[in-house]
Structure formats: structure tokens, C-alpha cells
Structure 1
């Protein structure tokens, strides 16, 4: 969101941000509607995603939605952009403004919530009908949008991207490797919040097998969360504490330094998808379609860091068939991860070939500035297309 606002502001557009969690963004006006029951909601545990929303939360969203609707009407913008479906998509629909660009990027609404909740499925279908533009990461996201009834002409693929001019200098990378105790060693990095859906325990359980063959390896976890102590205890139990560094939270500006310093990037994401039947006997077809690419995966591709990520739809847009066989591993399977890691450690020439190909691909497809400029053109075209209808 911040990068989006900064880009459009720098291009001379008037940018207004309406958010209950505002940031100071140069060149943008920020409107922060007062969140009803704010003190109560702040006491809720932020990581407890299994706690069912209660009446106060629902009422709070309704009151915020009405405030946002009045704000949007007063601003009368040329276009509304809403990021993610679960909350902001609903709020944008209630705001009722056209054109609206709705971003489905890296959230679970399309392929999990739409299968487990009739209410969410109904809301998602309504959002897809309401929005004038629907953005997703990859071909799997496009297919899922179509399955849910989205009009093909509304769908745009944009994988966001990274700023190549902000990648770290080599001296900074070397200093970070030394600080992490990885000088002269092969370094694996995993950048995720320490939460159950990212299955970081599987990553740790793969390490003993790798270390047995390659004691010249080191491992870092960048991120924080409720599983910090549990994962630290697991590392001690597995006897790998001397090989693993828990870095903790790192700001976005530092993430490219970690992928630049590392030789391999690991993403063990594993949502443990629900199965069975939900409403009226509906058979759930939950998947990771549309989850897309994390920004850290894109950073890994751009910084010569060989990815080792769990197998999921959409990645075929990036990886060749051979790369899918050698770089992707089964979610929740530490043995598969360990074997893939050991195979790559023994194949430096192949790793170098992968690094070169993915570095070229990342500059072709994942350049943030080029992608943002394309979004801008798409916005302007849509505004012009709907201008006669708005004027009447």
C-alpha cells in the first residue's frame, strides 16, 4: 500500500488514503476513521486468527464502513483502490464508488474462505460483480476468479514487484554474512512471520539431515510471531541451535540484504487446507490458487538466491518443469525438503544456471516501477472508459 501511494503521488496524482491504521506517506492525504470499540479491539490477541469474531467486531466494521462511504463521497475520487478482499473489498463495495480496482493479492479469501463459508462466498461473488478491475498475481488466480464468476475483461495480472535500484551493495552483504557467522558457509534463509500456517517446524526438522551431510551450512529465520519460543525450543530439541539464528523482525528495507546474503531461500508455507463438506453438502475444494508470490520470493529471484519452496499452483508461471522437480517440495514433508536441499548443495553448476535464468526473469516480470507504470495506464484507461457514465 505504501509503495503504491508513494508511486502515484510521485507521478503527480492526488492520493488519499482511508485507513484505520494510517501511515505518514509523503504527498498523500491520510484519513483515519475512528474505530468504534477501539480499546476493546486492541485488547484482542492480534495473532489469534481462530477466535470467532463477536458482535462488537461486526458492529465496528459496519460503523466504519458507513464512515468510509461518507468520506469517499466527499472526496469524489477518479478511482478507488481496495487491497485484499476480506475487509477492504467489502468496505469498498459499501462505499459504492466507480471505478473501483480490487486487488486479490496473497490472501486466502478466493480459494479457502469462499469454500468454507457461504457468507464469505456470497460476499466475494458480490465484490467480483461490483469491482470494475480485478487484480491478481498469476494464472492460478485468474482461473479461480473465473470459477467464481468474474468477468474475464475485468481481470488484470500484476505480480507487484521489487525496486531493483534499492538492492544492497556487495559490501553490505558480506558484512551481514560475517555478522550471521556464515562466512565461507552455505546460508539458507526463511523470511516469514512465526505463525502456524507457515509451518516453520518442517523447515527446522529438515535441517539435521542436511547438517549431517553438510556441516558447512547455516540457517536463519527472519520474522517474529507467537511461535518464537516454541520454534526455539524445537531447534534445541533437534540439536541444531548452533546452526540456526532467529533474527526476529526485520523492516522491509532490510529483507533484500538477507536474500542477497543467502545462497538458498526456503518458504515452507502450508495452510493445511480444510476438506469435507460445508453448507448444504457443498464439497469444499480448498486450494492455494491465487495465493501468489511473496515479496520475499521475488527478492530471492532477483538476488541470486536459489528458491526451495513448497509446491503450489501458480509457481509454474515462474519455474520450468525441471525447476519444479528440483526446487519445489511437498508441503509438510521435511524429508523431501532435506533431499532437495542436499541435491542442490551437490550441484553448484546447476544452481548457478538457475540463478542466472531467474535473475533475468525477475527483471523482465517483477520490476516494481515498470509494473506500477502499467497499473497507472490501466487505471487511466478505465477512468476514461467510465467517464461518460459517471458524468450522467
Structure 2
């Protein structure tokens, strides 16, 4: 039997994208063809070049479809690759919203235009992925046909992220695994640990990842006199992450916006106690002082106090991490969820072939 092909439109190197495409290979026996824009959008000149590249992208995508004859197209981000997938005319077509909403930043002067192209992508999609419940709110507000929406996280590999935590229970060993970008508020995390340091609380803080805030954050750690307790690990291989999580007993994440965080799931699977911002994307998974803690955005004082409260309440914290592991096993197992998604794609392809 001929192996089925899927054309993936998106940044194929990203961890989320790799989970998606590797899962389709493993559990759906799909061949994956990838295409992505080459110009990064990290600076203003690059953003201009990226827009220019975007205008010619559809021609290239249609050439790939004609040459490779994929059975299906999938795309991440409804306002970019999702639009290109919709314009390609290839069916079936699945798109995935990446955050609480892909209409970001919400202050953008291009917001009205983004709403128009996103509506086109939603209308033409055969299947729309909401990796978590919070994503459905903006979809419903945009009058999406919710019958097309699949609410299911891709999941994480529980054979890699195991519940064998080796962190010293007598010390706060915290880890942060988000990109060093302003919206993840690493400065708030550092300030909270600066407050703990002033109180004489012993800790180690491991910061994994890279980004444009790195230099500023290192300077801030020095200013707060905690540079000897903060370890910037930079960008690491994903294979190294499970071990670092297992050496930590606290997971801290303070974003100002969130869709579905795979890093939160990875931490919960690894018996790290989660402390995250009190925003909709985190509220789907964390209930304050029930299975973690929710912190007001940009409140370093509250974060410091809640870390200390959790550290002192050892019995409560031990029970939480055990329950969190069970929750991940029941709801966020990559092997189960990706098999469901892969089977759905086969159904869509079969249906398209029957009606064509």
C-alpha cells in the first residue's frame, strides 16, 4: 500500500512542530514534507523581508503540491501558514492555532487585516486544532464552526519525561524552560528570587533557553546579588531536558499570554511542582493551591511568597506532584493523543477520496 503524504507548513525545527510531525510519522505511518518561510521575524528589516517572501510563498507551495501530490496539508498559526494552506486549495486541510489567539500582539495596527485572513483560514479548514480548551474561546468569538474543532493536546512522551525526581527536598531547586523573550517575564522570576535571597532562603534557579533578553537577565541577576545561584543553561538538546527537570522540584513560568504549554506538561510529568501565571491558558490545567499555584501577572512579591508557602508545605506539595503525574498519564500521553490525531487524518483523507 502506498504511504500517505502530508505537507506540513510551519517552522519544522520547533519542539511543538516536531512533536506533531514525528507523532504523525510514528502513529500514522505518514511521510512528512515540510516547507517554511526562510526569513526570521526577529527584527524590523527582517519582518519587511518576511512579508515580501510571504507574497510569493503561495506559488512555491502550489508547486510543491503539484510535484509531491500530498494527501493532506497541515499548518500551524491561523494567521500565517494557516492562510497559505487555505489559499493552496488542497483538501483535506488542518490548521492549528498556536496560542490563546493567533491575533497577536493585540495592539497591532494589522489586527483588522489579521482577523480577515484568519476568518478565511477557519472557513476553509477541514479540521481546526485547539491544543487546549482556552483556544476555543477566541474561535467561538470568531464564529468558527465548532464541529470542525478538535480539542486535544498533542501530549508529551512519558517514556522520556518520567516521574523519577531526584531533587533535594530540603532546598528550592527551581527551573524555567521558556524562551528568553519579554513576554515570558523572566525578570519577574529573578526579582522574586532576589526577595527570597534577602530572607536567607537557600535556592538554585536553572534557566533553560536562549533569547534576546539573555544579557539583560544576567545583568539583573548580578544586580540582585543572586548570580551565583542562577544558572543560565542556554539552548540545550531536548534530550537533556528530562534530566534537568528531574533535578528540580519547582517549575516556574510567568508568561503574560499562554495557549497550551508543553513545558508545563513536561514539568508536571517529572514531579516538578508548578507555579505559573494566573491567566486563562494556565487556568485550564492548574487550580490555585490544589495542584499548583497561580500568580498575578508581573507580581514578583506574590511569586516569592507563594514559592515560600509551597516549600514549607511539603506534604501538600508531595501529594500534588503525584496527582499531577496521574493527570498527565490520563490526559496528555503523546502516544495516545497522537494516535487519535493520526487516525483522524486518515479518516479525513479517506472521506476526501470517497467524495472526489
Give yes or no for contact 2:128–2:148 (8 Å, CA) kept in 1: yes
Aligned to 1:10: 26
Aligned to 1:20: 36
Within the candidate set 156, 165, 189, 1:203 is matched to 189
Aligned to 1:328: 294
Structure 1 range deviating more: 211-220 or 103-112: 103-112
- Normalising by structure 2, we get a TM-score of 0.87
The Cα shift of 1:85 comes to 2.2
Written as runs of structure 1 = structure 2, the 5 A alignment for 1:1-392 is 1-11=17-27, 13-20=29-36, 41=39, 47-48=42-43, 53-54=47-48, 56-106=49-99, 108-110=101-103, 112-113=105-106, 117-167=111-161, 185-270=171-256, 288=257, 291-320=258-287, 322-323=289-290, 327-389=293-355, 391=356
Q: In structure 1, how many angstroms separate the alpha carbons of the residues matched to 2:200 and 2:113?
A: 51
Give yes or no for contact 1:110–1:144 (8 Å, CA) kept in 2: no
The superposition leaves residues 36-69 of structure 1 with CA deviations (integer Å, 9 ceiling, x where unpaired) of: xxxxx5xx7x633x66832x43332122221111
The Cα shift of 1:20 comes to 3.5
Give yes or no for contact 1:186–1:263 (8 Å, CA) kept in 2: yes
Gaps of 5+ in 2: 1-16
Q: In structure 2, how many angstroms separate the alpha carbons of the residues matched to 1:107 and 1:82?
A: 17
The superposition leaves residues 160-187 of structure 1 with CA deviations (integer Å, 9 ceiling, x where unpaired) of: 11111123695xx75xx7xxxx796320
| 1:114–1:8 Cα change, 3 Å | farther
The Cα shift of 1:71 comes to 1.3
Give yes or no for contact 1:113–1:120 (8 Å, CA) kept in 2: no
Aligned to 1:283: none
Give yes or no for contact 1:114–1:120 (8 Å, CA) kept in 2: no
| 1:323–1:169 Cα change, 3 Å | closer
Q: In structure 2, how many angstroms separate the alpha carbons of the residues matched to 1:86 and 1:237?
A: 40
SS across alignment from 2:251:
strand
SS across alignment from 1:16:
strand
The Cα shift of 1:94 comes to 2.0
Give yes or no for contact 1:309–1:328 (8 Å, CA) kept in 2: yes
Give yes or no for contact 1:106–1:294 (8 Å, CA) kept in 2: no
Aligned to 1:275: none
SS across alignment from 1:344:
helix
SS across alignment from 2:90:
coil
| 1:320–1:92 Cα change, 3 Å | same
Give yes or no for contact 1:79–1:98 (8 Å, CA) kept in 2: yes
| 1:12–1:354 Cα change, 3 Å | closer
| 1:218–1:126 Cα change, 3 Å | same
Q: In structure 2, how many angstroms separate the alpha carbons of the residues matched to 1:115 and 1:229?
A: 27
| 1:111–1:236 Cα change, 3 Å | closer
The Cα shift of 1:78 comes to 2.3
Q: CA RMSD in A?
A: 2.5
The Cα shift of 1:248 comes to 1.2
The Cα shift of 1:18 comes to 2.7
Give yes or no for contact 2:171–2:202 (8 Å, CA) kept in 1: yes
Aligned length: 339
The superposition leaves residues 184-208 of structure 1 with CA deviations (integer Å, 9 ceiling, x where unpaired) of: 6320111122111111111101112
Q: In structure 1, how many angstroms separate the alpha carbons of the residues matched to 2:126 and 2:60?
A: 22
Give yes or no for contact 2:163–2:269 (8 Å, CA) kept in 1: no
The Cα shift of 1:322 comes to 4.2
The Cα shift of 1:235 comes to 0.7
Gaps of 5+ in 1: 22-34, 36-40, 271-287
Give yes or no for contact 1:194–1:224 (8 Å, CA) kept in 2: yes
Give yes or no for contact 2:176–2:252 (8 Å, CA) kept in 1: yes
The Cα shift of 1:87 comes to 2.3
Q: In structure 2, how many angstroms separate the alpha carbons of the residues matched to 1:12 and 1:124?
A: 28
- Normalising by structure 1, we get a TM-score of 0.79
